[in-house]
Amino acid sequence: MWTDKSIKAIKPQKTRFRQPEPTNQRGVGRLVLDVQPSGVKTFFFQYFRNQDGKSKRTLVNIGLYKKTLSSPGCSLEDARTKAREYANLLQAGKDPKLVVEERQLEEQAKLRRVESEKRQGSFEQLLDSYTSAMKADSKRSYKSVEKSLDTYVKLPFPEMINRKADTIDADDIRLILSKMIKKGVTTHTNRVRSYLHAAFSHGLKQDNNPRRYSDEEVKFNLKFNPVTFVPKQPDFERVGEHVIPEKEIKIIWDELPKESLISAYAIKLSFTTGQRFGEIIRGPWTVIDDDAQLMTIPASVSKNKIEHVVPLDGLSWSIIEDLYELTGDSEYLFPASNTGGFIEDKHIHSTTISKVVREYCSGHKKVSKFLARDIRRTVKTLMGKAGIDKAIRDRIQNHALQDVSSKHYDRYDYLAEKRQAMKVWNDYLDLIIHPKKKVTHISRKQKA
């Protein structure tokens, strides 16, 4: 039997050779020492196995011979222990080499799982990736979505958001939403549900997306969207129905607060054009074409990501002229302001307009309470009363048309039709605001 002294006494030769350890046992393999010309010695377990009807010599690497306690490698005792283990496998009818290969594959798979778990994204990282994608896509609502997720998900459920995203199930989503309902939150519960659904839909695709929305290289390994199994609450949805009466439009127009002049002009421009506040307040002066009297809402600002051209006529153009006198030296039509005046590179926020509307309604008994978004509905409704066809009203308000013809074939801009409709609407609105013109108009018609 070998000793360390006898192994050290084995001298290298010009060619590589293997020397088996002397033993009287047969049929259970044996420990061999592989000696290279460089003097490097390696332990192997040698045995014969039947392959294609022939007995084939097979070697399983055990490790380098450990010369000293400080050097890496395998001691003689360790090598014998391994050799006995492989011999026992052989006696049990198992192929040691195949067993070793299977163990190596299992170990590699385990390491991959550990590495994957390290890179596996949490629920919080999923939500952050989703809102970052919204920001990158120039979605105006990303800040309000962030705030809602912070308020109703991250802060109330600190343990849940630290879990891996793929462990979140329908019960977790139900818990989040039921807590909101218990607090008396109704419509916004459905909104948070839609944000969560969109976040998981984002995560399902994100693992294979070459574009990352996080500083960390994470994967979510999602197999399904858990929000799908949690129903929306239909009775929480309130369809907007309020249309501002014509007589109240005149009061609003005449009495909008002068101390909030920029917001007042934004409200008036929305009345005259029917456009979304989030689109008109973000426009720099370059969106206005003075010669053609047009306002272009870029695709980057438009809600449906489609560039939209709005003809300006009558009242709407007079508002642009008044605005130019007030803010023409600024970058934006509706610049933000502070005590020092207008802020050059910032526009007002839609929440500012909502606040002005709320405060206005609270101080006026003659005007029924309305929201800023009710103005767009009011314009759509009264345009119909003024005789403007719904198809043109939809195009004026840049609604996304989903029929096949509109989506894929119709590339006509309808500018002439929109211009005519806007003239009709501005004339109609002018008569609402200045009723004496209406009386004059009727009397002339009667005379004719």
Q: How confident is the model at residue 405 (pLDDT cuts 50, 70, 90)?
A: low
CATH class of residue range 4-118: alpha beta
Please tell me the pTM assigned to this model: 0.57
Percent of the chain with pLDDT over 70: 91
Q: What is the pLDDT of residues 70-121, one digit of tens each?
A: 567 888 999 999 999 999 999 898 999 999 999 989 888 887 777 766 678 9
Say if residue 401's pLDDT is above 60. Answer: yes
Contact 251, 267 (CB under 8 A): no
Say if residue 386's pLDDT is above 50. Answer: yes
Percent of the chain with pLDDT over 90: 58
Best CATH choice for the domain 123-236 from the list 1.20.272, 3.40.720, 1.10.3470, 1.10.150: 1.10.150
Structure tokens given for 153: 């998900």
Q: What is the pLDDT of residues 194-243, one digit of tens each?
A: 999 999 999 999 888 888 776 667 889 999 999 999 999 988 876 567 89
First to last CA, the chain: 129
Alpha-carbon gap, residue 381 to 383, rounded angstroms: 5
Q: How confident is the model at residue 147 (pLDDT cuts 50, 70, 90)?
A: very high
Mean pLDDT of the chain: 87
Rounded mean pLDDT, 270-285? 92
Best CATH choice for the domain 246-447 from the list 2.40.50.140, 3.40.50.300, 1.10.443.10, 3.40.50.920: 1.10.443.10
Say if residue 343's pLDDT is above 70. Answer: yes
Beta-strand relationship, 308-311 and 294-297: antiparallel
Say if residue 438's pLDDT is above 80. Answer: no
Domain ranges of the chain: 4-118, 123-236, 246-447
Position 447 scores a pLDDT of 35
Position 50 scores a pLDDT of 83
Say if residue 179's pLDDT is above 80. Answer: yes
Burial track 78-93 (b if 16+ CB lie within 10 A, e otherwise): ebbebbeebbebbeee
